[in-house]
Structure 1
Amino acid sequence: MRFGILSQWFDPEPGPAALPGVLARSLVERGHDVQVLTGFPNYPTGIIPDTYRGRRRSDEVQEGVSIRRVALYASHDSSSLRRFSNYASFGLSATINGLRPLAGLDAIWVNYSPITVALPMWAARFLLRVPHVVHVLDLWPDTLLASGFARHGPLYAPPMRALQYWTNAMYRTASSVAYISPSVGGILHDRGVSRDKLHYVPMWADENIFRPTYQDLRRELGIPDSSVVLLYAGTLGEAQGLASLIDACSLVTDLSFTCIIAGSGVSESSLRTRAAEMGASNVRFLGRLPSEAMPKLMATSDMSYVSLREHPLSRATMPSKTQAALASAKAMLVAATGDVAHVAQQSQGGIVTEPENPTAIAASIRHAHSLGRDELRRMGQRARDYYETEFSVAAGTKRIESLLTMAAKRKVSS
């Protein structure tokens, strides 16, 4: 069949932005023709490569996937106005410059975040008569509050109501609404989405990057084999609550223990300063590393750190680093509540601790250290087994393929 993928984020953008590309290639491997509509690559630097500058659109084929890229305003800094401009510009540009390749498709998978993707989605639905499946990867408008992009209060109430109306319209026009975290299904149902339209489809990892391997960076980084290593790899932002990790590490400097923090973000500078002030000499900052370094970086660790600040949305949030840790056969230290904590417990591949509580996090680090590297390795294998069943690319592609096929059949019969 001829399926489409509509996503502002796509290869070669890293991290969660790369996951739509994983789906596209997997659908091609299953025998489908795949057309992607996305923006010029610019995440996370906010810089568009020279090959795309001065152009309205670009067409290319990569690994059997047809890709239409469109111009947008590139920005990923802390400015709310510039971030909104980034989101809105993609929605407008994709509608003006990107619709033609979507004509004649059987169905489209839509990466729901940011919700300005609704503009080309609705244009394809009502002008081209192509049905779509919306995949809720971030719950809007809630994610704006959790990230600090918006705040509670009378000033924000009218725009938040307008955004809620917008998202409800996206759900109504979709053939199916997929969601990546179990609790999100209940939230969507409470907001009026019918049970028969809702489908649990957890996200996957990029299995070319996140996989078990024994080649590590310990010698390169000067970390002894006896040291237990905790790794945080990802965005350094406010939502992750990483200050409590720094404080916890300052309480366990008497152990053969190293905490590696890899990534960048708005909180990087303050976290580095905090580590110095707290005397957390066991914390190593590596900055942002290229994706090809991630297999060895994951292999360097004994545990992967997953954390979220306490917020009503955090209980229904499934950070993408969860799947990355599971796929890499790494035990997890989860400083969060809700769905991600449940995964750590159900998989028997993680330790759950209280978020934003340095004393509790430090106690969990000590517990992990007492288990030893061999037992942490066995926990990681249980995590990998759980990933294969629940989160793998094969499992996710099969679920989405089923929803797209169902949407296409409804189009034919209508």
Structure 2
Amino acid sequence: MKDVLIITSYFPPETGAASNRIFHLAEGLKEHRFNVSVLTPLPNYPTGEIFKAYKGKFQHTSTENSILINRLWIYASNSKNKLLRLIAMLSYSFSLVWFFIWNKIPKTVIVQSPPLIVAFTCMLFLKSKKRHLILNVSDLWPIAGLELGAFKKNFSYQLLERIERFNYKRADLVLGQSEEILAHVRSVVMEKNTFLYRNYPEFESPDLNYSPSNGNIKMVYAGLLGIAQGIYRLCQELDYTHIEFHIYGSGAEQEKIETYILNHPELPITYHGHVSRRELHNVLLQYDLTIIPLLKRIYGSVPSKIFEYAKLGLPMLYFGGGEGETIIKKHDLGWVAEAGNYEELNRVLASIENEMLSRTMRQNIIENGRKEFDFKSQLKRLKDII
């Protein structure tokens, strides 16, 4: 039985795409007879506060479903202050170094990136011990930060680019969740071994029990209410003539969204708060359509919601551009509108009729999801090269 250590900044009971992705990877490798352990911070995302059950602890070790999980100390923060965010990342990096010094590390290590600095810490301290290092790249930093306006092209940005290049060079294998990510990696480090590893979900598709709404289309967004998703702007720009908008999740824009809804009671917008992923799957089935937005097109980004909603059979309106748009079109998963073009978004919404959102359409989406986005077959290919 081969030992594998996964190092990540996000893991359940935290929620979100990154946490789900690593959890399913760990579970999948365990089922393929790998001896899996996980290194992660004390749970704190997305609130920026250590979860109640873990407060006051410097380290927490548990075995969950035969997976050893070591949760390390972190200075938790979700502040917009860049210095505080940097301190948070460095604190986890210091905890990792301390763990590396005092514990035996398996020969095979999978490292999640971003955060770049955390990945850099792993690449720097573990490569010297001749580990087989696998870098799992879910987003391209610092490029994504530049496109979102979080960075400027200055000395700090150039330093992050050097860290990024260092991480790629030190990795024996790079996993990327999009073709764009892998193309970028190969442009930075020529002839690097890469593997396309999408964030496919692992759950049973539900039984279809759905009838289209007779009145306005019930459109839902579920996920992080962050700057990149632009849900606050979306609330302001949508044409509500033929739709009602339902929102689930939490994040930096939550308070602004709640205030906007309070100040505009005439608009058919409902904020439902945060629910667990398991609950969410059942909740989403009552809606006619889901929207997957990005405030700006982010190079390399493919929202994992695409694959999750395909298994649910939920028709999608994609509003983010790039590779995600291509996937929606190629596999007939719904509609697309040009990223950032709210006039086009409203035109597309106006063109969607209740009759289009049929049980047949949902069944076709589920079948395409089963065929094209299969977690088990992807994992089988991955485990053969680890």
TM-score normalised to structure 1 length: 0.84
- The residue that corresponds to 2:221 in the other structure is 232
- For 1:83 and 1:10, the matched residues in 2 are separated by 18
Residue 201 of structure 1: which of 193, 197, 211 is its match?
197
- For 1:164 and 1:49, the matched residues in 2 are separated by 33
- The residue that corresponds to 1:373 in the other structure is 357
- For 1:49 and 1:247, the matched residues in 2 are separated by 33
Check whether the contact 1:236–1:242 (CA below 8 A) recurs between aligned residues.
yes
Q: Which of the pair is proportionally richer in helix?
A: 1
**Could you give the per-residue CA deviations for residues 344-377 of structure 1, whole angstroms, max 9, x where no partner exists?**
0011111011222332212212222354431xx4
The 3-state SS of whatever aligns with 1:300 is: coil
**Could you give the per-residue CA deviations for residues 67-109 of structure 1, whole angstroms, max 9, x where no partner exists?**
1111111112322222222222111111112565552x24111
The aligned length equals 383
Check whether the contact 2:261–2:270 (CA below 8 A) recurs between aligned residues.
no
Q: Report the AA paired with residue 113 of structure 1.
A: P
- The residue that corresponds to 2:255 in the other structure is 269
Check whether the contact 1:112–1:134 (CA below 8 A) recurs between aligned residues.
yes
- 1:17-32 to 2 correspondences below 5 Å: 17-32=19-34
- 1:57-136 to 2 correspondences below 5 Å: 57-98=59-100, 100-103=102-105, 105-117=106-118, 118-127=120-129, 129-136=130-137
Q: Displacement of 1:389 after TM fit?
A: 3.5
Residues 274/53 of structure 1: CA separation in 2 closer, same or farther (3 Å cut): closer
Does residue 167 in structure 1 map to residue 164 in structure 2? yes
- The residue that corresponds to 2:307 in the other structure is 323
Check whether the contact 2:315–2:357 (CA below 8 A) recurs between aligned residues.
no
What residue ranges of structure 1 are gaps of 5+ in the alignment? 405-414
- For 2:44 and 2:232, the matched residues in 1 are separated by 28
Q: Displacement of 1:316 after TM fit?
A: 2.5
Q: Displacement of 1:315 after TM fit?
A: 4.1
- For 2:15 and 2:32, the matched residues in 1 are separated by 24
Task: Output the aligned Cα RMSD.
Answer: 2.6
Q: Report the AA paired with residue 94 of structure 1.
A: L
**Could you give the per-residue CA deviations for residues 307-327 of structure 1, whole angstroms, max 9, x where no partner exists?**
11234xx24311122222122
Q: Report the AA paired with residue 302 of structure 1.
A: D
Q: Report the AA paired with residue 362 of structure 1.
A: N
Percent of paired sites with the same residue: 22
- For 1:325 and 1:392, the matched residues in 2 are separated by 13
- For 2:48 and 2:280, the matched residues in 1 are separated by 22
- For 1:324 and 1:171, the matched residues in 2 are separated by 29
- For 1:263 and 1:60, the matched residues in 2 are separated by 28
The 3-state SS of whatever aligns with 2:272 is: strand
- 1:353-368 to 2 correspondences below 5 Å: 353-368=337-352
Residue 287 of structure 1: which of 258, 273, 278 is its match?
273
The 3-state SS of whatever aligns with 1:403 is: coil
- For 1:383 and 1:77, the matched residues in 2 are separated by 39
Residues 403/91 of structure 1: CA separation in 2 closer, same or farther (3 Å cut): farther
TM-score normalised to structure 2 length: 0.90
- For 1:321 and 1:95, the matched residues in 2 are separated by 34
What residue ranges of structure 2 are gaps of 5+ in the alignment? none
User: More relative contact order in 1 or in 2 (CA 8 Å, sep 6+)?
Assistant: 1
Check whether the contact 1:309–1:355 (CA below 8 A) recurs between aligned residues.
yes
